Chain A
């Protein structure tokens, strides 16, 4: 079973490597969204430091929703998704593998870009570190929950906007704990509580989301 999981992950990473253009676009989307805020709100360093964590986190949410739309869609269109669903392994392993692959392809770059954005927003080193940590724990949650939305909206018109509508409410706890962890550093109240709650939410998502996503795939493909 583990071998199946690795095959799914390897396959998706290999496919993404062949489509580097799309991948690059998604990363620049993240950077651009974040950069819009100082332009729109004003560049006072104090204010930027305050809104920085929230802005980066919201941009991460949007970036993930943008890329999640394609999680199953490509495979659905060329028929490989159905073939994978016919394989002798639980479909939940397939959805888990795809979410993990998605994190490797899109989440890790996010973690690498975040410090640069933290600097743009005048955040302290400690704040930046907690930001990256919160994103490291939080982005898997986004992709796990997002896979449910992607599975439910497979093949529908309305695309990205519809997935956003469905999944954004579910992202709220991750956003609150994630951005809150960084704000905890800024206000001196500490971030352990936020990060622990985020971690617990991750555990829950890891256990439940692949199954729900698998059920959603079965409903959509039926």
Chain B
């Protein structure tokens, strides 16, 4: 597995890569021999029908599950060996929103930052929440927000995470048309600035000039 590849005549590092990845759920083999490489400024769109293994793949990429075979690498090292560095440089949004209903959006962002070992001043947090359209909900416990609004809190967290790699499982769930456009813009900005994104969505994202790699899971 090479750490670099040639792209447009230049040597670029493979940041996130998987090699011969296989996944078992229960006693079913969901997929095997799955390999890909992702470098700076690139996005990966994971497609496949329901229950075919998209979420499982993303969880393998995060390191939440262990693969039945194969290895996931970050910066060339297997992720189970670089937990600390990978944890700092990667941000994940799963099916659940990952926010506490009993905390306000501000508190959620602050706690998430502290748990990730980052500083987060109130101004930045407020700005992020305003950017996702929650400026009027700053001090209510997240319990009173709608599902889509809670998703936006999670997205605000993504913005303030300062992560290189975004792993997003169905980020558009519960969002309205404006929300979808916002997410598309977020991803586009992030990737254009040199970040990376891996996402599963049911509909293709309009990412402007950015053409993501595609990976089909489950045959």
Contacts and interface: CB of A to CB of B under 8 A. Distances in A.
Direct contact, A vs B (beta carbon within 8 Å): yes
A19 to B, nearest CB: 7
Interface in A1-57: 3-4, 7-8, 11, 14-15, 18-19
Interface string A186-210: 0000000000000000000000000
Interface stretch (A82-90, A134-142, A154-162, A174-182): A82-90
A80 B98 contact: yes
Contacts, number: 73
A15 B100 contact: yes
A116 interface: no
B201 interface: no
Interface string B102-117: 1100010001101111
A78 interface: yes
Interface residues of B, number: 31
Contacts of A222: 64-66
Contacts of A11: 111, 115
A18 B115 contact: no
A18 B141 contact: yes
A14 B106 CA distance: 14
Contacts of B62: 86
Nearest to B98: A79
B22 to A, nearest CB: 15
Given A88-B85, A89-B117, A15 B96 contact: no
B97 A79 contact: yes
A221 interface: yes
B120 to A, nearest CB: 12
Nearest to A1: B117
Indicate the size class of the contact surface on chain A. Answer: 20 to 34
Contacts of A88: 83-88, 116-117
B103 A14 contact: yes
Interface string B66-100: 10000000000000000111111010101111111
B94 A82 contact: yes
B101 A87 contact: no
B212 interface: no
Contacts of A85: 64
B133 interface: no
A78 B64 contact: no
A106 to B, nearest CB: 17
A200 B64 CA distance: 34
A8 B117 CA distance: 12
A19 B143 CA distance: 13
Contact of A86 (B92, B102, B114): B92
A221 B56 CA distance: 12
A105 B83 CA distance: 31
Contacts of A3: 114, 117
Interface string B139-171: 001000000000000000000000000000000
Given A18-B141, A78-B96, A222-B64, 8 more contacts: A7-B115, A14-B107, A15-B100, A79-B94, A82-B64, A85-B64, A88-B116, A222-B66
Interface of B: 62-66, 83-88, 90, 92, 94-103, 107, 111-112, 114-117, 141
20 contacts: A7-B115, A14-B103, A15-B100, A15-B102, A18-B103, A78-B96, A78-B99, A78-B100, A79-B95, A83-B98, A83-B112, A85-B64, A86-B64, A86-B90, A87-B115, A87-B117, A88-B84, A88-B85, A88-B87, A89-B87
